[in-house]
Amino acid sequence: MMDKSALLKAVQAAQVGNWHDAHQIAQDYSDATANWLHAVLHKIEGDEWNSKYWYARSAGRSYDDFLDITSELSAIHQSLL
């Protein structure tokens, strides 16, 4: 089950560059939004294979949907409001 408040905290952590804390939260959930965030975190990390693995579990999202990480994190944030 998705915990929007936890995922919002994870997005906020990612937005300020705290990859580790964001990842710790994201990996605790398995819904499409958490998987999307998890995919973006691995994109930030530079792990394209792992990122694409999580995108495949994010309800139709794709690695190439966003070229800008900041915009993508903002879109995740908006989807949680």
61 phi/psi in degrees, rounded to 5 = -75, 155
What CA–CA distance (Å, rounded) separates 47 from 63?
11
**Burial classification of residue 25, based on how many CB atoms lie within 10 Å of its CB (0-12 exposed, 13-18 middle, 19 or more buried):** buried
Residue 1's pLDDT is 59
Domain that includes residue 34, residue range? 4-80
pTM: 0.94
Residue 56's pLDDT is 97
Q: How many domains does the chain have?
A: 1
What CA–CA distance (Å, rounded) separates 81 from 69?
19
What CA–CA distance (Å, rounded) separates 2 from 44?
22
Q: Encode pLDDT of 28-77 as tens digits.
A: 998 999 999 999 999 999 999 999 999 999 999 999 999 899 999 999 99
